[in-house]
Structure 1
Amino acid sequence: MRALLVDRAAPGGLRLGTAPDPRPAPHQALIRVTATSLNHGEVAFGLGAAAEGSVLGWDAAGIVERAAADGTGPAVGTPVVTLMPDGAWAELRAVDTALIGVAPAGADPAALATIPVAGASALRALHRLGPLLGREVLITGATGGVGRYAVQLARAAGAHVVAVTSDPARNGEVLRELGAHEVVGTPKEAARPVDGVIDLVGGPLLVDAYESLAPGGTLVAVGHSAGRGEDFPFGALFGDQGRHDRSLVTFFLLTCTGLDRDLGWLARRVTAGELDPGITWRGDWSAAADAIGVLQSGGLHGKAVLTIG
């Protein structure tokens, strides 16, 4: 099969070549990939750590080429959205049926490809905050792939959404169209304490976002694009002066159960036009180096999608 292979001598660290076809385990279906989206973690961390010649990629949309031998999962010919820790940047991919969501017929593969990491991470992070109707939710890194989904889903769930972006003047209109009630440059600019935070940046911004929590509030740490640690000042974790019962939690998407249901639900919402997939760069996989360059520059607000073949 054709695939994008890790090659540090090539532009963007990838070259289009050939790799052995995957051999699905009994609980896996073989997927013919039609589109994949790039994530910051893959580019910032995955490429540097991967072995030469390996096939990376978490997110892929496609069609079931061969159903799982154990009888689980969708049938041959079903359009699907898939998540795995590798293998998306290739024509064929073996995927655990627990990580396959069924997509509506005729759905745009590029839009579906934005869902697995970005959409599912946003959904699970918001679930961790609990019921959102009437609550205040702050989202850092709101213009990124996960952030855009989080803004839309939080608004749909009935939350008052505060979106944090480094450039409110440039990004404010887009974020308000997605559902944000407030757009600010830092968590300190929020009008009042919030019940929950979805942090997609880490570093000093996470510390500031934690300080914006009301008593009983929860911060879910999802992203780490800052590339820096979190240095909490002395007293930040005291429980007095309005800091009672605040918490900071993490989660790992691939350990969550029920992701097949989540992926299918998100696919239906995106296909129906109820969620904007946020595609801001789209091209053939032969242009992967260009997509990686845009992502590394920090100038991409939304998702970069590669169509396969």
Structure 2
Amino acid sequence: MRALLVDSSTPSGLRLGETADPEPARHEALVRVTATSLNYGEVAHRKEAPEGTVLGWDAAGVIERAAADGSGPAVGTPVVTLGEAGGWAELRAVHTGMLGVPPTGADPGALSTLPVAGASALRALRRIGDTLGRRILVTGATGGVGRYAVQLARLGGAYVIATTGDPGAHGDDLRALGAHQVVTEPADVAEPVHGVVDLVGGPQLVAAYDTLAAHGTLVSVGHVTGQPETFPFGALYGDAGRHDRSIVTFYLLERPDIGPDLTWLAHRLAAGDLDPQIAWRGGWDRAAEAIAALLDRRLHGKAVLKIG
């Protein structure tokens, strides 16, 4: 099969070449991939992978061979998939618990934006709990996860506050997605919030934690600053009426049970309840162009590659 392979000798760190077809385990389906979306984490660290590796977390396609154990969809079923690697190839072996089934006719490119970005946003909001009538802060909201978090929080009945480094440039877009308020940083939030989806890390996570009301939860998802989270003395005291506040994390691939979430997200996207916010589309022969735009922070939204 053809695939984007890690190749440190090229400027992009990738080359389009041939590699062996994957051999699915009994609980895995073989998927013919038609589209993949890029995530900053996998792109930023691509050159650390061994030569010849096929990377790629997100992919949409069609079942080529059903799982031998009888689980999962039948041959010919459109699917959206998540995995630790293998999405940047014509064929991918996927645990059937990591497969979502979209409605017939859904756009594979749009579907491919859902696994990491959409599912991370959904699970982060679940960790916060009930959002109906609550104030939810989303930091770093212009990225893929942030844009889905804003939309899902609004769908859940929250009053949504979004942060972005440039509200003048991105405020209208975030408000169109459902943000009630757009600010530059957590320190600009005037009233305590019930939950935070933090996609930045470092000092901004510390500042976001300070916005939490009593019993509030901050879910740490992103770490783009590369800086440590250093809390000043007293920041974790349970006094001043803001006690029992939590900081939690999760790992999206911890358990192979993401399939129902991907199915739900795919149906919401197909119904028009979610906007995939695709900022770049092209063939996989243009992967280097998409990667450069993503790493240079020139894309505010998702980059989608057509496979094959």
8 Å contact 2:98–2:259 — kept in the other structure? yes
Question: Any idea what the Cα deviations from partners look like across 1:87-132, whole Å, max 9, x if unmatched?
Answer: 0000000000000001111110100000000000000000000111
Identify the residue that residue 145 of structure 1 maps to in structure 2: 144
Identify the residue that residue 194 of structure 1 maps to in structure 2: 193
Indicate the percent of aligned positions where both proteins have the same amino acid. 67
Whole-angstrom distance in 1 between the partners of 2:199 and 2:117:
11
Identify the residue that residue 82 of structure 2 maps to in structure 1: 83
Pair 257,84 (structure 1): closer, same or farther in 2 beyond 3 Å: closer
Identify the residue that residue 110 of structure 1 maps to in structure 2: 109
Counterpart residue type for residue 297 of structure 1? D
Counterpart residue type for residue 31 of structure 1? V
TM-score, normalising length from structure 1? 0.98
8 Å contact 2:95–2:256 — kept in the other structure? no
Identify the residue that residue 157 of structure 1 maps to in structure 2: 156
Counterpart residue type for residue 170 of structure 1? A
Identify the residue that residue 277 of structure 1 maps to in structure 2: 276
8 Å contact 2:63–2:77 — kept in the other structure? yes
TM-score, normalising length from structure 2? 0.99
Identify the residue that residue 5 of structure 2 maps to in structure 1: 5
Whole-angstrom distance in 2 between the partners of 1:191 and 1:160:
13
8 Å contact 2:161–2:179 — kept in the other structure? yes
Whole-angstrom distance in 1 between the partners of 2:72 and 2:100:
9
Question: Any idea what the Cα deviations from partners look like across 1:48-72, whole Å, max 9, x if unmatched?
Answer: 3200111000000000000000000
Identify the residue that residue 234 of structure 1 maps to in structure 2: 233
> SS of the counterpart of 1:8?
coil
TM-align CA RMSD? 0.8
Whole-angstrom distance in 2 between the partners of 1:20 and 1:111:
28
8 Å contact 2:200–2:224 — kept in the other structure? yes
Identify the residue that residue 262 of structure 1 maps to in structure 2: 261
8 Å contact 2:163–2:184 — kept in the other structure? yes
8 Å contact 2:6–2:47 — kept in the other structure? no
Matches within 5 A, 1:1-309: 1-45=1-45, 47-256=46-255, 258-309=257-308
Structure 1 stretches of at least 4 aligned residues deviating more than 3 Å after TM superposition: none
Unaligned runs of 5+ in 2: none
